[in-house]
Amino acid sequence: MAPVVQSSQPWVEKYRPRQVKEVAHQDEVIRVLTNTLETSNCPHMLFYGPPGTGKTTTALAIAHQLFGPELYKSRVLELNASDDRGINVVRTKIKDFAAVAVGSGSRPGYPCPPFKIIILDEADSMTEDAQNALRRTMETYSKVTRFFFICNYISRIIEPLASRCAKFRFKPLSEEIMSNRILHICKEEGLNLGSEALSTLSSISQGDLRRAITYLQGAARLFGSSISSKDLISVSGVVPQDVVKALFAACKTGEFELANKEVNNVIAEGYPVSQMLSQLFDVVVGADDISDQQKARICRRLAEADKCLVDGADEYLQLMDVASNTIRALCNMPEEFCYE
């Protein structure tokens, strides 16, 4: 197999931390897990928190540091949401792997404890039946197997599974932490990223470092070593802020035709309406010149439109409906009022 060409390697993988101590900003988690690595006393674990904060990276780093490259393949089973993880997989693949006992198999520099690890990434997408089937497997084979569950929403993990695990919450990354990591990558790759562009990258990635690195690599390939805020916005799919504000300003005038013109502009430019609704929400909430009641009316309609878009509704009609409802709210018209 030919080696990966350096330039074609995703930066997300190239700069992924290889050791637990290198994971950024999750100080409490790292402190506990470092102790776990020293003692090799590893419980079942549940990592939860927003995407791009280091959950999968931490789980993989623990496994690599416990077993080393030689034993990793035989001691660790990784399953992602892309794999079929219904009840049949739990009863066969997971159970068969969990049941096999292992020796210490020591390697220089690695603890190699006498158990295996099963990493279930995006565990919150597992069916409830599959999660229930895991309960008995976890108890029966706890001497020879440890489970690492990774999820965004801990509420979607059934309580019997959650109570069997040590829980670790991964916090969203602060702008300072993200900026430091991004600047390190820019230095390694020879990129010139100004303070304004750095701030823009932090805001559009919303605490997701993986997303930020992906945007940065995309911008670097398209625009070269000098990257501006405009370049980052163009590769991210984020709607330019002046477009969002123009739509809101048109709604404030109370002129339906003006709002319709701005909606047509959004559709003609091909901006994703779901993203538009998200940014419009931020503008509405941050507005100082409208009442809380008006904000509530507009935000309720934004939520309804977002649900309709998920269900496959037409983008133009939903954005037009949001715009007309926003006009009604800002002009204090009754909600049942309809335009002819």
Pairing of strands 45-48, 145-151: parallel
- Does the domain at 241-330 match CATH 1.20.272.10? Answer given as yes
Cα–Cα distance between 106 and 198 in angstroms, integer?
45
CATH architecture designation of domain 16-169: 3-Layer(aba) Sandwich (3.40)
CA distance 79 to 88: 14
Report the pLDDT value the prediction gives residue 2, as an integer from 0 to 100.
Answer: 39
pTM here? 0.75
Q: Where in the chain is the domain with CATH 3.40.50.300?
A: 16-169
The CATH number given to 175-236 is 1.10.8.60
Q: What is the pLDDT of residues 112-134, one digit of tens each?
A: 778 888 899 888 888 888 888 88
Q: Which two tokens stand for residue 113?
A: 């404890």
Question: What digits encode the pLDDT tens for the residues 208-261?
Answer: 888 888 889 888 888 888 888 888 888 887 888 888 889 989 888 888 889 999
Where in the chain is CATH 1.10.8.60? 175-236
**Every domain range in the chain assigned CATH 1.20.272.10:** 241-330
Strands (E), 34-111: 45-48, 76-79
Q: Do 202 and 175 contact (CB within 8 A), yes or no?
A: yes
